[in-house]
Amino acid sequence: MIRYFINIITGAWSLIIGLMVTFKNTLRRGVTIQYPTQKLPMTDRFRGLVDLRAEKCIKCYQCAKICPTGCLSITHKETPEKKKELVTFKYNMELCCFCGFCDQICPTQAIYMSKIYEIATYDHEKLRIDLLDSEKYSEWLNPNVK
């Protein structure tokens, strides 16, 4: 008989402790931000979309070979002065897994990972681009780009 009442009182007390925890959290400031009017800055090492500084590329093809999913496809041609020149540098965003290998392996830092992360679109074609176009990221360019 006494057990019955003790159980009820300890049960009720445990519920009150739970309520106190929740109440304490009500007094804390919210941890969310109002996206898209407010955006958080990305860290230094953040791995966003791949981008290319075409003038630094030495056409060694290391980035295309190390990509685990094979999303980079590069072609080049020889100019009459025996210099290599890039013809296409295709990047398939649908296959890219944002691992950062291409950035790490490039000897001249020609290919690097930018800070673009808002890459939703309605059209498949916009996701398979050529990094030599100047209009490549015009759809999503935002202040986070370096």
Judge contact between 130 and 90, C-beta under 8 A.
yes
Min. distance of Cβ 83 from other proteins in angstroms?
A: 26
Q: Is residue 108 a contact point for other proteins (CB under 8 A)?
A: no
Q: Is residue 38 a contact point for other proteins (CB under 8 A)?
A: no
Map the footprint of other proteins across residues 72-101, applying CB under 8 A.
Answer: 97-101
Q: Is residue 22 a contact point for other proteins (CB under 8 A)?
A: yes
Min. distance of Cβ 4 from other proteins in angstroms?
A: 8
Min. distance of Cβ 48 from other proteins in angstroms?
A: 9
Classify residue 4 as exposed, middle or buried by CB count within 10 Å of its CB (0-12, 13-18, 19+). Answer: exposed
Judge contact between 143 and 75, C-beta under 8 A.
no
Q: Which is nearer to other proteins, 14 or 108 (CB)?
A: 14
Q: Is residue 31 a contact point for other proteins (CB under 8 A)?
A: yes
One residue of 6, 14, 85, 87 binding other proteins per CB under 8 A = 14
Q: Is residue 34 a contact point for other proteins (CB under 8 A)?
A: yes
Q: Which residues bind other proteins (CB under 8 A)?
A: 8, 10-12, 14-15, 17-26, 28-32, 34, 42-47, 66-68, 97-101, 104-105, 113
